[in-house]
Structure 1
Amino acid sequence: MGHPATGAGMPDGLQRRLGLFDAVTIGLGAMIGAGIFSALAPAAHAAGSGMMLGLALAAAVAYCNATSSARLAARYPASGGTYVYGRERLGEFWGYLAGWGFVVGKTASCAAMALTVGSYLWPGHAHTVAVAAVVALTAVNYAGVHKSVLLTRVIVAVVLVVLAAVAVALLNSTAPDSGSLGVGDDATLGGVLQAAGLLFFAFAGYARIATLGEEVRNPSRTIPRAIPIALGTTLVVYAVIAVAALRVLGPMGLADASAPLSEAVRAAGAGWLAPVVRVGAVVAALGSLLALILGVSRTTLAMARDRHLPHVLAAVHPRFKTPHRAELVVGGVVALVAATADLRGAIGFSSFGVLAYYAIANASAWTLNPDEGRPARFIPALGMVGCLMLAFALPLTSVIAGVCVLTFGAAAFALRRVVAARTP
């Protein structure tokens, strides 16, 4: 539709190095991250005994988003994800708005993950550690996506081992159950929706697979397979850990926990595991940060190619075959935000931007024809409605900040069009 994507066969294209296992690993590295170590407490606080309903709702919306994204990625295997899909299916403005929401929202996510690393590793100097983590992982990404995948494999393996140990300790605990896993009177519809929005933040990493469309081998086959595998694996892990934590701490205990999994293993009589959980949280946050920087830089590359961002950021390194300028700029901005931002504010702001991004992805998938691999119509419809519903169920400050940022982006787009029209 008039915007041919830069591909591997073009001089400035990225190299297709990633197979199915690599793509799944990147998705797992983004999803099985710091969210499982931190999102359970605020979700339990919002929904009480309805937290598992929130998890189920977040997973259902994520499934719709993943299905829509997979079909679109197979049709448009280029860097940029929903920025490309929205542009091709809905028009330039909607693609731009998706890309703007993703880059700004996920920059906040990067800062949140970096601050999580700092909070667990050296609480008294969280911002300093966060900046150091961003610099180190930006250097890894700069040296090539293949090196990023190798590091992500190690991170995912470590986190899965830690979570498996936590699940075994909690499920085998002889401590008396602290509460029912059923839904009680403390659960409200608004609380369940807000919990779903908070837990969705931890599921959103499958977009990283789609944004790497130019670096995946046989993308029309690999991406639609990798996304549901990564999402399904993550859902199983999250569900097992959430049930185990609720069984030991109960909804109230989980809601009041500052470090939910550490406190759960102590309550289960496995206090020796608490330092291991701490290390796991740091490694998980590093994995999420690595994958996030990877995805944001690729969307920045795609937007720079179309001159929605400075065109100088569209350069691909001649040796490493990475969007090196985009990665350096993204790394610099994330480091600045991580040095100054508040962790909770960053997470809430990010959630709104990500949900807006996926709403546009579902709207784009709705327009696919049957011969283009369109999913069943109810999937993008439910996904779009679900994204908007969860976005506006977030805390009011997050909603206001998100709406303001999207409005600013829309105004910048309109101003650019006016200037371009007046330029001879």
Structure 2
Amino acid sequence: MARLQRHLGLFQTTMYGIGLILGAGIYALIGDAAGEAGNTVWISFSLAAIASVFTGLSYAELSSMYPKAAAEYSFVKNAFGSNFPAFIVGWLTLFVAIVSASAIALGFGGYFSNLFGPPVLFCAISVIIALSFVNFIGIRESSSMNIIFTLIEAAGLGMIIWIGMTLFVDVSIDYFDAPQGISGIFSAFTLAFFAYIGFENIANIAEEIRNPKKVLPRAIILAISITAIIYILVSVSAIRVLSWQELDASIAPLADVAKRALGPQAHIAIAAIALFATTNTVLIMLVSGSRILYGISNDKSLPSIFSRIHSKRNTPWAAVLVIGFLSVLFTLVGDLSTVANISVFGIIMVFILVNFSLIWLRFKQPNAERQFKVPLSVKKLPILPVLGIITPVFGAVQFEPYIIMMGMVVVVLGMLFYFAYSKLTKERNRF
């Protein structure tokens, strides 16, 4: 019987996580964050890193206990012993993966169209189809491509750090100048927190990692730590080159940083690197989405066809096809900004449930084997997962009521699907 193959070690898994977190967001997000926090934008990214660590540590402990594809689904099911909340979490993570792949593919299309001319939608659909093929070929090939693209992506950010730290050494800046005070720092914190989202998907390739109980926790912590250092250095470097007002007004802030220092050709170079960044993120979201679908199906909560493994490629071919098809379908929506915000609200709900699952398991199974354990507890109550619940809630309340309402609609649709599929399964079993 064909099964997923364990090809990935600590380096590949950590690079997978760094590629997930770095993504394409920092290339545009830092401008909006600077508009809120001014020169203290680096503080916002630092606080967001700390908040990400709270939930990242919960993923690390739970992954050391249950190293399975469809990680969040597995965590919640083992915590509460019920398919229903587990399915809703799985439903939300699938939605996030598909919408993220579609939205970022459109971002790729925008960059590619700007540089070379083809229509944005054509470029977006083409990159999803091409990367779905890479996903089908195998996790080793996907990982190799991810490592190369992540290094190129990090090189672009390294260029920004080099510019800020070496070419603008005499700049006199008040790094504690916050035009909107504490409220601005926390508004930017919410934006920066979203830039770290992605680490959670490291856990979804657990069944393709060698010794996942040890490797996964280390990879999650390393990925968050490395990207936090990069983000903080990039935010400090950017405000050394452009004022926070200029960053806020720019539609491509890091490209404009390079242009100010090195001329128009550097702007093109950063735009080209952004192509690699968007391509890499789409690939990783397609890989993650297909493994989530595979994992839920393998647990019999979705049709078994999605858990079928290709006999030669050892990849979940049916799940790969479905995730690729749905991602293409969502690109036809065009402007996915609202849908993308709904998906972010969805992942916040997932974070809350994952942290709550860890807390529940500490009381329910205090003596269970944990190769990694979140530090700082008061008796059986772990403190950091509690903070991991509070910080996403703080992010969620920043959304417009419409986004929150539509996020709840996605949850309700998942509930309806679950009950309809459960009823259909029971009917089939009766005959």
What TM-score, normalized by structure 2, do the two folds share? 0.89
- The letter for the 2-side match of 1:338 is T
Whole-angstrom CA distance in 1 between matches of 2:172 and 2:120:
33
> 1:21–1:86: structure 2 CA closer, same or farther, 3 Å change rule?
same
Residue 176 of structure 2 corresponds to which residue in structure 1? 182
SS in 2 for 1:316: coil
Say which of 149, 158, 173 aligns to 2:152.
158
1:100 corresponds to 2:91: yes
Structure 1 40/213 Cα, relative in aligned 2: closer, same or farther at 3 Å? same
Match of 2:410 in 1: 405
Question: Are the structure 2 counterparts of residues 249 and 360 from structure 1 closer, same or farther at C-alpha, using a change threshold of 3 Å?
Answer: same
Letter paired with 1:79: A
Q: Is the 8 A contact 1:194 1:394 kept in 2?
A: no
1:375 and 2:374 equivalent? yes
Match 2:66 to one of 67, 73, 76 = 76
Aligned residue in 1 for 2:47: 57
1:388-399 equivalences in 2 (<5 Å): 388-399=393-404
1:332 matched residue in structure 2: 325
Q: In structure 2, what is the Cα distance between the partners aligned to 1:118 and 1:179?
A: 37
Q: Does 1:167 align with 2:172?
A: no
Moved over 6 A (4+): none
Equivalent-residue separation in structure 1 for 2:226 and 2:351 (angstroms): 20
- 387-396 or 33-42: bigger deviation: 387-396
Amino acid at match of 1:267: R
Aligned mates of 1:101, 1:200 — CA distance in 2: 19
Is contact 2:51–2:388 with CA below 8 Å preserved after alignment?
yes
- TM-score between both structures, scaled by the size of structure 1: 0.91
Report deviation, 1:419: 5.5
The verdict on how the C-alpha distance between 1:341 and 1:61 changes in structure 2, with shifts beyond 3 A counting, is farther
| CA drift at 1:47 | 4.1
Provide the residue aligned with 2:279 in structure 1.
286
Cα separation, partners in 2 of 1:97 and 1:412, compared to 1, 3 Å: same
Shift of 1:42: 2.6
1:279 positional shift = 1.0
Q: What do you get for the CA RMSD once the two structures are aligned?
A: 2.2
Unaligned runs of 5+ in 2: 376-381
CA distance in 1, matches of 2:262, 2:149: 27
Distance 1:263 1:395, change over 3 A: farther
CA drift at 1:247:
2.4
Distance (whole Å) between structure 2 residues aligned to residue 362 and residue 183 of structure 1: 35
Q: 2:73·2:86 contact (CA, 8 Å) conserved in 1?
A: yes
Query: Structure 2 CA distance, aligned partners of 1:113 and 1:213?
Result: 24
1:312 is aligned to: 305
Which residue of the other structure, out of 206, 212, 219, is the alignment partner of 1:219?
212
Deviation for aligned residue 1:101? 0.9
When residues 28 and 99 of structure 1 are mapped into structure 2, their CA distance, relative to the original with a 3 A threshold, is same
Shift of 1:312: 1.4
Secondary structure class of the residue paired with 2:149? helix
One-letter code aligned to 1:388: V
CA spacing shift, 1:56–1:406, aligned 2, 3 Å:
farther
Q: Give deviations 1:50-97, integer Å, cap 9, x for gaps.
A: 533432232122111111111111111111111111111123222112
Cα distance in 2, alignment partners of residues 324 and 350 from structure 1 = 25
Q: Secondary structure at the match of 1:217?
A: coil
Structure 1 unmatched runs, 5+? 1-10
Residue pair 1:169, 1:270 contacting (<8 A) in 2 also: no
What is the match of residue 9 of structure 2?
19
Shift of 1:274: 1.3
Cα distance, 1:422–1:131 mapped onto 2, change above 3 Å: closer
Structure 2 partner of 1:8:
none
Aligned length: 413
- 1:176–1:248 Cα contact (<8 Å) kept: no
Pick closer, same or farther for the CA change 1:351–1:195 going to 2, 3 Å.
Answer: farther
Report the Cα offset of residue 30 of structure 1. 1.2
Following superposition, the deviation at residue 113 of structure 1 comes to 1.4
- Which residue is equivalent to 2:132? 138
CA drift at 1:185: 3.8
Q: Which amino acid aligns with 2:102?
A: A
Which of 379, 382, 391 matches 1:386?
A: 391
1:233 equivalent in alignment to 2:226? yes
In the TM superposition, what is the alpha-carbon distance from 1:262 to its structure 2 partner? 0.9
**CA offset digits 1:253-297 (Å, max 9, x no partner):** 211110010111223354432111111111011111111111111
How many percent identity over aligned positions?
26
**Equivalent pair of 2:83/2:301 in contact (CA under 8 Å):** no
1:29 counterpart residue number: 19
1:22 alignment partner, SS class: helix
Residue pair 2:160, 2:238 contacting (<8 A) in 1 also: no
Distance 2:126 2:98 in 1: 16
